[in-house]
Structure 1
Amino acid sequence: MKARTRWDVVCTVEDLVPDSGIAVWTKDGPVAVFYLPHRLPALFAVSHTDPFSGSNVLARGITGDVGGEPVVASPLYKQHFSLRSGVCLEDDGVQVRTYPVLLDGDRILLELPVSADQMDTQAA
C-alpha cells in the first residue's frame, strides 16, 4: 500500500536565496529548501537535519557540484549530500531524506507524508 502524501505550501519564491538554502518547518520536521537557478531543476529539498551531528543545519551548508551532482556540504563536518538522492558522497551508507518540490506560481510546495492522525482529521 502506497503511503499517503499531500502537497503543502512551505514558502514563496521571494523567500528563496539563489545558490543557497532556507529552512522551513513542516509536519514532517525541518526541511532545507535549496534554489540553484543555474540548474534544471532549480529547486531541491532535503531534511534540514545533519545525520552525523543530529543538528538542524543543512540549509546553512554550502551548495556546489561534485562530478555533476548538485550537493550541499554540511557546515559542521563538511560531508557532501546529493540534493537529488540525499546520499552522502563520503559515506554512501548515510543519507538524508529528500522531498519532491514544486513551483506553483510564486509558491513553493513540498510533497509530504500524511500521518494516520492527519488522515483521521481530514476524514472528519
Structure 2
Amino acid sequence: MSIAPLEWTTVCPVDDILPNTGVSALVAGRHVAVFRVGETQFYAIDNVDPKSGASVLSRGLVGNLGEHVVVASPLYKNHFDLADGVCLEAPEYSVRAHTVRIEDGRVQVALA
C-alpha cells in the first residue's frame, strides 16, 4: 500500500504573517487558520471554532499554556494546541491540524 503524496497549497508570502498572529485561508475548500509563532515556527489548524461554527480561530490570541503553544478562540476562549488541534478545555471540540512548510519564501499548507 503506497501513501499518496501531500498536495500543497500556497497560502501567502512568509512576510504576510506577522509573528505571533494568524491568517485565514481556503485550502482545497476547507477553512484553515495559519499561524506564525516567533520568527520561524508555522502551524495550521482548522479555522472553524467547533463550538460556534464560526470561522474565527485565525483571529485568536497566540500564546503558551504550560508546554503547549496555543490559540485562544475569540468567541469562547477555548485553547487549541497548534501542534495537534486538541482543545485543552474540552477535547470533544478539537480541530484538525495540518502540515505547513516554507518553500521559496511562501507558506504552504497540506491538509491532514
Say which SS state the counterpart of residue 93 (structure 1) adopts. Answer: helix
Question: Partner residue of 1:75?
Answer: 74
More deviation in 81-90 or 104-113? 104-113
Deviation at residue 31 of structure 1 after TM alignment: 0.6
Question: Partner residue of 1:20?
Answer: 21
Deviation at residue 103 of structure 1 after TM alignment: 0.8
- TM-score, normalised with respect to structure 1: 0.82
Q: Give the share of equivalent positions with the same residue, in percent.
A: 41
Residue pair 1:49, 1:56 contacting (<8 A) in 2 also? yes
Quick one: which amino acid aligns to residue 85 of structure 2? G
Residue pair 1:28, 1:112 contacting (<8 A) in 2 also? no
Deviation at residue 92 of structure 1 after TM alignment: 1.7
Separation of aligned partners in 1, 2:77 and 2:50:
12
Question: Partner residue of 2:30?
Answer: 29
Aligned residues: 111
Separation of aligned partners in 2, 1:76 and 1:94:
13
Question: Partner residue of 2:110?
Answer: 111
Question: Partner residue of 1:100?
Answer: 99
Unaligned 5+ residue runs, structure 1? 114-124
Runs ≥4 in structure 1, deviation > 3 angstroms? 1-5
Deviation at residue 112 of structure 1 after TM alignment: 2.8
Aligned CA RMSD, in angstroms, stands at 1.7
- TM-score, normalised with respect to structure 2: 0.90
Unaligned 5+ residue runs, structure 2? none
Separation of aligned partners in 2, 1:58 and 1:105:
27
Deviations 1:20-52 (A, max 9, x none): 1011111141111000116xx610000110000
Deviations 1:65-118 (A, max 9, x none): 0011000000000000000010000012221111100011211111136xxxxx
Distance 1:3 1:55, change over 3 A: farther
